Structure 1
Amino acid sequence: MRLPLTCALLALALAACQPVRPAAPAAAAVAVAADDNLNAVLWLQRSAEYRALAEQTYRAAADHLDAALAEADWDALVPEERGPAVAARPPAVVLDIDETVLDNSPYQARLVRDGGEYDDPSWDAWVEERKATAVPGAVEFARAAGARGIVLVYISNRATHLKRATLDNLRAQGLPVADESVFLGLGTAVDGCEQHGSEKDCRRRLVGQRYRVLMQFGDQLGDFVHIDANTPEGRQRLLDRYRDWFGRRWWMLPNPTYGSWEPALFDNAWSQPRQTRRAAKRAALEVAP
């Protein structure tokens, strides 16, 4: 039935006066705090670029193995860490474990998801899960070294009480473990050498007494040489001094998620509140004028 024209016009006018209500959102937005490690962890887990870099590093190192073996006085330990009669010792390669041969990004991802920070109990629990996967290229390099009779020695800042879980994880990922002596964790006692904090120089000296070290692999400077001053300037001095060793004796793996470079930006004072440390990192940014 048609309405009279006047009624229709009145209905249109009343409809135009009604307030417009916004559509209800499909779901309420959840506030998520910013996390400095979000992009870094995603890059490790999702980018083809990370995998390319890791494989490129290990492939290039494998190409240098024969030359290093052939040169009798070739050694990847700094002179003060080498043992005597280097040429007579069996050849070895020294590797850090975390973010060098084993990828722990799922642990870092948990911290990002939960808004947490590293602590020993959560880290120990992760290691005991034995779920870390091999860094791209690490297993292939290990096979190349093993085919040449080269022993792989792991110097790690995983504590010694995590040895069993760590060796299980390495073996499960196809990384060779000649025997339990090739794992030198944090807390390993070295006669005549006093270890300070997590520095690895005492353990490298121990390896130098047993082997001729052809190469070292790590994801931060302290994996290769003792850091006297963990400041940006001190770290740069070390890089300048040993620049020619990288890509020959020393091989660096990318790790943007953590490392001694970070506390160097806030005077190594982890006791400071998280926001204070974050402010110091922001202040260290180099911003274009």
Structure 2
Amino acid sequence: MPLRLPFVAALALLAGCAAQPSHVPPAAPAPAPLAVPADDNLNAVAWSQTAIEHDLIYLQTYRDAQTRLLAALADPHWDALAKADRVVPADGLKPAVILDVDETVLDNSPYQARLVRSGSEFNEADWAAWCKEARARALPGVVEFTRFAARHGIEVIYLSNRAKDLDQATLANLRAAGLPVAGPQSFLGLGTFVEGCEQVGSEKGCRRQLVARHHRVLMQFGDQLGDFVDVLPNTPEGRKRVVAPYLNWIGERWFVLPNPSYGSWEPALFDNDWQAPREERRRRKMQALHVD
């Protein structure tokens, strides 16, 4: 019996210890739900500004186009305008290339970054103020390509949906970035009047037809489908349908550049209804996602 007492006492002591609640730090409170969803454009802008892959895509596109340009110039039947835009025969006309400006030639990601940081959306006043700063940098590869074209007698024409009152600021920005600008006629902004052609919204068809009256277009460059062909109606199905006849031109006559930040692809997901509340537009975009 005396030999067992210490053992029993030890068991009792251990049992007593086990019965005592151990010290557990209080659980961290669950994070409060965000009043406003995280900015949908954050990753897109961060990728555009920091990912080397972004720059390599532009460099690859413009280098590839440059290797094909002289062959296109030498082929008198080569033309990069959609059927609806080729309003007069191209035979004997001066050669040209057409480039969109924003996110095709000039990098406006700093403006997008300002929107992300402020939590705001695009508005005309802030956009115009950014354009008038004339500080957008040229995107990789475009200066070399456009200078190569100009050296070979190919006119470089810029088609932009910037408002007409931004023409001078945009021309100054293009020149400051090192791009060739033959003169004011090389820039066709949103307010350009084209006799005999009725512009629909911001579509560029009338301006392409204006170029077509005087030039054989060798190549077109843009970050939006509307930079190549008018898109009516602007729905996912309509967009696929309008480009279907020209798929063989991609990478040969039409060169498409990436823009995950904005574009006509976005309103196509919510019936082009910019008057809808931001939350409703976001809900419609979420519905468009595929999970299988």
TM-score (norm 2): 0.87
Q: Which residue of 1 aligns with 2:174?
A: 170
Query: Equivalent pairs: percent with the same residue?
Result: 59
Q: List gaps (5 residues or longer) in structure 1.
A: 1-18, 23-29
Deviations 1:226-273 (A, max 9, x none): 112100001111232211111011000111000000000000000000
1:1-289 matched pairs, under 5 angstroms = 33-288=37-292
Contact 1:103-1:134 within 8 A present in 2 as well: yes
Distance 1:84 1:20, change over 3 A: closer
1:147 deviates by: 1.7
Distance 1:42 1:193, change over 3 A: same
* 1:94 aligned counterpart, secondary structure: strand
Paired AA for residue 143 in structure 1: R
* 2:91 aligned counterpart, secondary structure: helix
1:140 deviates by: 0.9
CA distance in 1, matches of 2:36, 2:174: 35
1:131 deviates by: 1.0
CA distance in 2, matches of 1:269, 1:85: 39
Contact 1:93-1:153 within 8 A present in 2 as well: yes
1:21 deviates by: 8.9
Q: List gaps (5 residues or longer) in structure 2.
A: 1-22, 27-33
Distance 1:199 1:99, change over 3 A: same
CA distance in 2, matches of 1:62, 1:284: 37
Paired AA for residue 62 in structure 2: Y
Length, aligned pairs only: 266
Q: Which residue of 2 aligns with 1:10?
A: none
CA distance in 2, matches of 1:20, 1:70: 80
Deviations 1:196-220 (A, max 9, x none): 1100000000000011100000001
Deviations 1:159-214 (A, max 9, x none): 11100100000000000110101110001110000001100000000000011100
CA distance in 2, matches of 1:240, 1:189: 29
Contact 1:266-1:281 within 8 A present in 2 as well: yes
Contact 1:83-1:210 within 8 A present in 2 as well: no
1:144 deviates by: 1.3
* 1:99 aligned counterpart, secondary structure: coil
Following TM superposition, the consecutive aligned residue runs of length 4 or more in structure 1 with deviations greater than 3 angstroms are 19-22, 30-33
* 1:270 aligned counterpart, secondary structure: coil
Paired AA for residue 102 in structure 1: L
* 2:171 aligned counterpart, secondary structure: helix
Distance 1:182 1:228, change over 3 A: same
Paired AA for residue 59 in structure 1: R
Q: Which residue of 2 aligns with 1:4?
A: none
Contact 1:219-1:252 within 8 A present in 2 as well: yes
Bigger-Rg structure (1/2): 2
1:20 deviates by: 9.6
1:78 deviates by: 1.2
TM-score (norm 1): 0.88
Contact 1:216-1:249 within 8 A present in 2 as well: yes
